[in-house]
Chains A and B, each alone.
Chain A
Amino acid sequence: MTDKKEWPLWEVFIRSQHGLAHRHVGSLHAPDAEMAIMNARDVYTRRNEGVSIWVVRASDIAASSPSEKGPLFDPANSKVYRHPTFYEIPEELGHM
């Protein structure tokens, strides 16, 4: 009953409106990129959710490892001065 070889998994990214970035919406199986885009249209944009679709083979995505989350992102924790709220601006100046 099972097909010999499983179709590759594709991750699907949709840009919802002009000006916004593509956003990951889910994944699907398809034999090639062209079919993946056609399937993505049917699975992820049935209600006008998108104006552009990217598909990428899931096996081609390199990802950071969850177990290294600490060491990878720690360095940013101590740098509160990177946020505008770190600085106090005199109230009489108004908005800055």
Chain B
Amino acid sequence: MYAQMVKTGVDHIQSKEEMSPEERAFQDRVDQDIKIEPKEWMPEAYRKTLIRQISQHAHSEIIGMQPEGNWITRAPTLERKAILLAKVQDEAGHGLYLYCAAETLGVSRDELMEQLNSGKAKYSSIFNYPTLTWADIGAIGWLVDGAAIMNQVPLQRCSYGPYSRAMIRICKEESFHQRQGYDAMTKLARGTPEQKQMAQDALNRWWWPSLMMFGPSDAESVHSAQSMRWKIKINSNDELRQKFVDQTVPQAEYLGLTVPDPDLKWNAERGHYDFGEVNWDEFYQVIAGNGPCNRDRLRTRVKAYEEGRWVRDAADAYAAKKAARTKAKAA
């Protein structure tokens, strides 16, 4: 999940009796699966939570370009390079769709950029891990995008119209991301013993961080309960994580790779895989800014923003010059 542990600002779930008439009417519409659109009345907490969730998601797409961008110039073939370039370009596009959706809730693009560049905003923990070998690019597409899809597909049905529409666009493109990753992994897994070892090593390093993407168990979380009631969260974190494990383990087996979890076992009774406990201490460390790449990601982001300033200034100056010319001609 690209948005992790989104706070709703509520301390309990309101009963319908406690709600104001407006809140009740709003909740009734959500219950009936009627989409909420930008200018319509909505509870302040709904609006704020959505801004937090959508912008966190957008920031993740933007920062998410870095681990993969790292390999564009070193892709093994021209074809792989073109594919990776297209994928990273998609991530930028996804970030832009999502920023636009967030802006319909009354936050400005500059505020969002400022939150990201100042380090105030959060983005997914997964992008704070380094991409050490080419196999990591395959593993990211397969596992990270696979986990993202798990979460994004249900969000296509979320209650907020612009977010739902952005999710529909994103999901259409995301499937290419996962498939190209699995394809790259397949090549390596069927290659020389060294290449297969590289694929295994990437799986070893990305497996647990991918499971962390769904966030810690939220069975007891009032924020998750509230978000689910508002239909801006559709499944619980544990539910999605289980689904991801069930789907991914056979894919690893097909590649002849071993999932790095000694507790992983098919449970015929449950009809699901049992798996080991995620190291949540590590997760909280990464979220707190102490992951392997947190500082580097932010530094790179700010540098790109600063170094692009002259382009923005030039575009501004050109637009102003043209506007002045049009005005002079009209006079």
Within 8 A of B (CB), among A21-59: 25-32, 34-35, 42-43, 46-47
Tell me if B201 is interfacial: C-beta within 8 Å of chain A: no
Tell me if B246 is interfacial: C-beta within 8 Å of chain A: no
Q: Which of A2-10, A75-83, A88-96 contacts B (4 or more CB under 8 A)?
A: A2-10
Smallest Cβ-Cβ distance to B37: which chain A residue: A66
Within 8 A of A (CB), among B292-313: 302, 305, 309, 312
Q: How far is the CB of A73 from the nearest CB of chain B, in Å? A: 14
- Given A46-B90, A66-B40, decide whether A6 and B109 contact each other with a Cβ distance below 8 A: yes
Within 8 A of A (CB), among B155-204: 165-166, 169, 173
- Chain B residues with CB under 8 Å of A2's CB are 110, 113-114
The reply to whether B39 and A66 contact each other, CB–CB distance below 8 Å, is yes
Smallest Cβ-Cβ distance to B306: which chain A residue: A1
Main SS of the interface on chain B? helix
The reply to whether A3 and B315 contact each other, CB–CB distance below 8 Å, is no
The reply to whether A6 and B110 contact each other, CB–CB distance below 8 Å, is yes
Chain B interface extent, by class:
20 to 34
Tell me if B236 is interfacial: C-beta within 8 Å of chain A: no
Chain A interface extent, by class:
20 to 34
Tell me if A63 is interfacial: C-beta within 8 Å of chain B: yes
Docked CA distance A42–B93 (Å)? 8
Tell me if A85 is interfacial: C-beta within 8 Å of chain B: no
Contacts from A to B (Cβ < 8 Å): 1-3, 5-7, 9, 25-32, 34-35, 42-43, 46-47, 63, 65-67
Q: How far is the CB of A58 from the nearest CB of chain B, in Å? A: 9
Q: Which 4 A-B pairs have the closest CB atoms?
A: A31-B319, A32-B319, A66-B40, A31-B315
A-B pair count, CB < 8 Å, reads 62
Docked CA distance A28–B316 (Å)? 15
Smallest Cβ-Cβ distance to B320: which chain A residue: A31
Q: How far is the CB of A13 from the nearest CB of chain B, in Å? A: 14
The reply to whether B322 and A32 contact each other, CB–CB distance below 8 Å, is yes
- Chain A residues with CB under 8 Å of B39's CB are 63, 65-66
- Given A6-B109, A26-B97, decide whether A1 and B118 contact each other with a Cβ distance below 8 A: yes
Tell me if B288 is interfacial: C-beta within 8 Å of chain A: no
Within 8 A of A (CB), among B114-170: 114, 117-118, 165-166, 169
- Chain A residues with CB under 8 Å of B302's CB are 1
- Chain B residues with CB under 8 Å of A35's CB are 315, 319
Specify which of A7, A29, A30, A32 is in contact with B323 (CB 8 Å cutoff). A32
Smallest Cβ-Cβ distance to B162: which chain A residue: A26
- Chain B residues with CB under 8 Å of A65's CB are 39
- Chain A residues with CB under 8 Å of B89's CB are 42, 46
Specify which of A7, A26, A63 is in contact with B100 (CB 8 Å cutoff). A26
Docked CA distance A36–B170 (Å)? 21
- Other than A2-B114, A25-B169, A66-B39, give 14 A-B pairs with Cβ distance below 8 A: A1-B118, A1-B302, A2-B110, A2-B113, A5-B316, A9-B103, A26-B165, A28-B96, A31-B318, A31-B319, A32-B315, A34-B322, A46-B89, A67-B40
Tell me if B217 is interfacial: C-beta within 8 Å of chain A: no
Tell me if B108 is interfacial: C-beta within 8 Å of chain A: yes
- Chain B residues with CB under 8 Å of A30's CB are 315
Q: How far is the CB of A41 from the nearest CB of chain B, in Å? A: 11
Q: How far is the CB of B224 from the nearest CB of chain A, in Å? A: 29
- Chain B residues with CB under 8 Å of A28's CB are 96, 100
Docked CA distance A18–B86 (Å)? 26
Docked CA distance A47–B169 (Å)? 12
Q: Which of A5, A26, A30, A63 has the most CB of B within 10 A?
A: A26
Docked CA distance A42–B94 (Å)? 12
Would you mind naming 7 contact pairs between A and B with Cβ atoms under 8 Å apart? Answer: A1-B113, A2-B110, A5-B316, A6-B108, A31-B315, A42-B89, A46-B90
Q: How far is the CB of A90 from the nearest CB of chain B, in Å? A: 39
